[in-house]
Chains A and B, each alone.
Chain A
Amino acid sequence: MSIQTAAWLVLALPLAGSLKLALGFRFWRGAMAGWIGTAAVGLAFVFALVTLVKLLDLPAEQRHVASSLWDLANVGGVHIRLGIYIDPLSTLMILVVSGVSTLIHLYSVGYMRSDEGYTRFFSYLNFFVFSMLLLVLAGNLALLIVGWAFVGAASYFLISFWYRRSTATNAGIKAFVINVIGDVGLVLGTFFIFRRMGVLDYGPLFHGVQHAFDKNEASLVAGMILILVGAFAKSAQIPFHTWLPDAMEGPTPVSSLIHAATMVTAGVYLIGRLHPLFEWAPTAADVGAVVGALTLLVAGTIGLAVTDLKRVIAYSTMSQIGYMIMGVSAAAYTGGFFHLTTHAFFKALLFMSAGSVIAAMGNEQSLDKISGFRKAMPFTFRCFLVGGLALSAFPLMSGFFSKDDLLYEVGQRGGWYYGLYAAGYIGSLFTVIYTWRMIFRTFWGEPCEQALALEHGHLYHAPHPFNPANGEVEDTGVGFPGPDHHIAEQTWQMKAAMSALALLSIAGGLLLLPFESLEPLRKFLEPTFADSIVAHPKNTGLETVGLVLSSVIAVAGIAFAYATWVTNAGGAARWQQRFAPLHNLFVNKWYFDELIDLAVVRPLAAFGRWGRDTFERIVVSGALVGGTSGIVKSGSAAVRGLQTGLLRGYAGLVVGGMFAVVLYFLLRAA
């Protein structure tokens, strides 16, 4: 089988699965649906491996293959093919996506078992995988945008999967709209490029850019910044990040797949994919880098303060993606995608573990309520531990190597990039602290009642299901979390998926060890980034400093967290009092929601109200319609007023008219 076929199959299988489940939703009920979905994605992963093999068969300089089925549009110079583009980068992505997805599907088979919308869930999930693969395989900007929007839609479907919950639907709208804004940015950016180059396909685009634009030319920069907007919106970078925490309204597997492992990293992929353009517009690239840095810091600080288990992980995701964005924008491609990969492993793992905990809590997510699950859920605890270690870049864990390589490559650029470098390490301190705060508060301390119940072997169930977010009683039937919950300890599918990811989180580092010869990933990605024009001078000293520094940070951070949340109770409270204003800032997530509400939502709503209540009535109906008809009506009144029925009056008008006519002629004659 040719590489193209393999790739197309990777794309086709999840779609097929999705359609099969969607159209056959009456027949594929129960576990069957789950297995179909999992199988579809699993096969996709297999074919992704095939693609990889085929790709490696090719000589390095030929490792970019384009293939297209038919023209979507070919008119007026706009040529949009339904085509894909296979090269190491996209191959890496399809591997990660399909691989992690398979595991998460497996996890969901168990986790969602008792949900009424089981079939729908897997149909959505498959559709998401298809969209994500389309995004990464797309062969031109237009198709990329399509995939881009599809994943947005899929994420919307899944966020508001429990559509009876107003919180869920609102979160869905928010996510979708912000994503659409991203899409628009992407489209407009594309226009800026297309207007000059007239092509959308990657190949010509990458080769042509240097002839079409001067380096750092304004219109190119503008275009790339607009494209960055797309990336930010999708990857939850400041200021387009507010949707991600709310997206946690979705079922936990969704959070782990879409909002941790895959979709949110699309921005990183985009920047990496378009790196020739970004490198030709350095200003835009720098903007990306700075925003990434900001995001990783801000998100880190918020992570320190929020008390919702899933939201903590969500903010950590934000900040980790901040690293990647910063990295790829600063031309730290390998590091960026390395971190992307490892992050996919351990963040998915963390979410799965959290999901298991939340299930045990009966959908309760607040850290204030959760505590002491160490004994109750040993397996989950271990997995959580592994994930936490990896996330906090504990030495020899996958996260350790990836983050380190990322920051190292950034540092290599020298100059003001050292600023970013520093920010990265400060951020990693936050990371460690909030990670372990989360772990300690969840598993240490006095076991809460749910934990105790579980220790005696039976799972806690809320007397009547309610939505913990706003406390409203669940509107039962389809579209709300099913009555039963499933935890890793009792469900082998979940267990399997989690163990696999745990292993990956530990061993993922092997992809790229900080030694010349042991860098398979860098080698693999070489062909894609061969045309990079950014120099990465070797700097062994910096590398060692980095390794040491991050080890120290990890250990110190864990120690601090232990001191604050385990040994002396109320330590956290003291810190809060000491930095009360900061704490408020963090708790309120730097007031981004409020700002956006004030700057965008309210004005639009006001405009709409004004139009409805004022403009329609006064101008459209009043002036345009009423005005004219008013004039006519008054004329009518005048005419009929003259029509008194008084005969002498008529005679008078006749005489008057006569007078006027004669006068006119007298004047003519004179």
Chain B
Amino acid sequence: MWFFFFLFSIVALAGAVGVVALRNPFYSVLALVTHLIALALLFLLLEAQFVAVAQIVVYAGAVMVLYVFVVAYVGGGDQPELLSRVSAKQRTLAVVFGLAIFVELAIALLGTALKAVDTHGAKLATDYGSPAQIGDLLLTRFLLPFELASFLLLVAAVGAVGLAGRRGGVGPDHEVFTDTVRPQGTGTMAEGVGRRRDGHP
């Protein structure tokens, strides 16, 4: 038990660190995947089987695939020098912030008067974390969030399509890809007379 906890959590944290630290976004994605899997296992330790499964399937599976595609399409945005161009000052500042907040949260979590925090948790019902229980809750007490979540997905779909998909509303009279393939910084007479696109010569 202990062992598993530490194993999984260390992997998860390592993954998190990887996400933050690795320069190539592609690796960051992979780091996140490992992190997510480890996290799912931690969920299991918390008896949340359904959530854990959902985590792996939905997240580490579907979402990350989407990620990989986009990264592949957009390309390795973070060239090494980019990261380094985040000045050391900024980085240290950020880390200090992070630590400070961590300390605060730690105080909050450990300093609570709540005894239960230091226990293994309450006595559990037999079907705790089972799909049955989840489903029941979703269709009764949390029907509303559940239904609304579906709308969230709808929104996401519409948004993704609208933004990344076809160039909306322009209509057939306007060929879509002319300007995406056209090399940067051509097209206006402004540029013809030697202005860059930001308008400054």
Given contacts A658-B101, A659-B101, A662-B101, contact A652 B108 (CB under 8 A): no
User: Residue on A with the closest CB to B93?
Assistant: A652
**Which range holds the interface residue count of chain A?**
10 to 19
User: Residue on B with the closest CB to A663?
Assistant: B104
What 0/1 pattern do residues 157 to 194 of B give for CB contact below 8 A with A? 00000000000000000000000000000000000000
Ranked nearest first, the 8 interchain pairs of A and B with the lowest CB-CB distance are: A662-B104, A655-B97, A659-B100, A659-B101, A666-B107, A666-B104, A663-B104, A659-B97
Q: How far is the CB of A318 from chain B (nearest CB, A)?
A: 84
With an 8 A cutoff between CB atoms, is B90 at the interface?
yes
Q: How far is the CB of A662 from chain B (nearest CB, A)?
A: 5
A648 to B87, CA, bound (A): 12
With an 8 A cutoff between CB atoms, is A603 at the interface?
no
Contact present for B104 and A659 (CB under 8 Å): yes
Cβ–Cβ < 8 Å partners of B98 in chain A? 655
Cβ–Cβ < 8 Å partners of B105 in chain A? 662
A648 to B89, CA, bound (A): 13
B 102-126 contacts with A by CB, 8 A: 104-105, 107-108, 111
With an 8 A cutoff between CB atoms, is B155 at the interface?
no
With an 8 A cutoff between CB atoms, is A622 at the interface?
no
With an 8 A cutoff between CB atoms, is A656 at the interface?
yes
Contact present for B108 and A656 (CB under 8 Å): no
**CB within 8 Å of A: which residues of B?**
90, 93-94, 97-98, 100-101, 104-105, 107-108, 111
Contact of A666 among B90, B94, B97, B108 (CB under 8 A): B108
User: Residue on A with the closest CB to B97?
Assistant: A655
**CB within 8 Å of B: which residues of A?**
648, 652, 655-656, 658-659, 662-663, 666, 669
Given contacts A662-B108, A666-B107, A666-B108, contact A648 B100 (CB under 8 A): no
Cβ–Cβ < 8 Å partners of A658 in chain B? 101
User: Residue on A with the closest CB to B94?
Assistant: A652
Cβ–Cβ < 8 Å partners of B90 in chain A? 648
User: Residue on A with the closest CB to B104?
Assistant: A662
Q: How far is the CB of A661 from chain B (nearest CB, A)?
A: 10
A225 to B148, CA, bound (A): 95
Q: How far is the CB of A436 from chain B (nearest CB, A)?
A: 97
Q: How far is the CB of B89 from chain A (nearest CB, A)?
A: 12
User: Residue on A with the closest CB to B86?
Assistant: A648
A210 to B94, CA, bound (A): 92
**A652-B97, A666-B107 known; 19 other A-B pairs, CB under 8 Å?**
A648-B90, A652-B93, A652-B94, A655-B97, A655-B98, A655-B101, A656-B97, A658-B101, A659-B97, A659-B100, A659-B101, A659-B104, A662-B101, A662-B104, A662-B105, A662-B108, A663-B104, A666-B104, A669-B111
Cβ–Cβ < 8 Å partners of B97 in chain A? 652, 655-656, 659
Q: How far is the CB of B101 from chain A (nearest CB, A)?
A: 6
Q: Provide 13 A-B residue pairs closer than 8 Å at the C-beta atoms, listed in order of the A residue.
A: A648-B90, A652-B94, A656-B97, A658-B101, A659-B100, A659-B101, A659-B104, A662-B101, A662-B104, A662-B108, A663-B104, A666-B104, A666-B108
Cβ–Cβ < 8 Å partners of B94 in chain A? 652
Q: How far is the CB of A87 from chain B (nearest CB, A)?
A: 95
A37 to B97, CA, bound (A): 98
A136 to B105, CA, bound (A): 96
A152 to B104, CA, bound (A): 86
Q: How far is the CB of B109 from chain A (nearest CB, A)?
A: 12
A655 to B108, CA, bound (A): 17
A4 to B104, CA, bound (A): 100
Cβ–Cβ < 8 Å partners of B111 in chain A? 669
Q: How far is the CB of B149 from chain A (nearest CB, A)?
A: 26
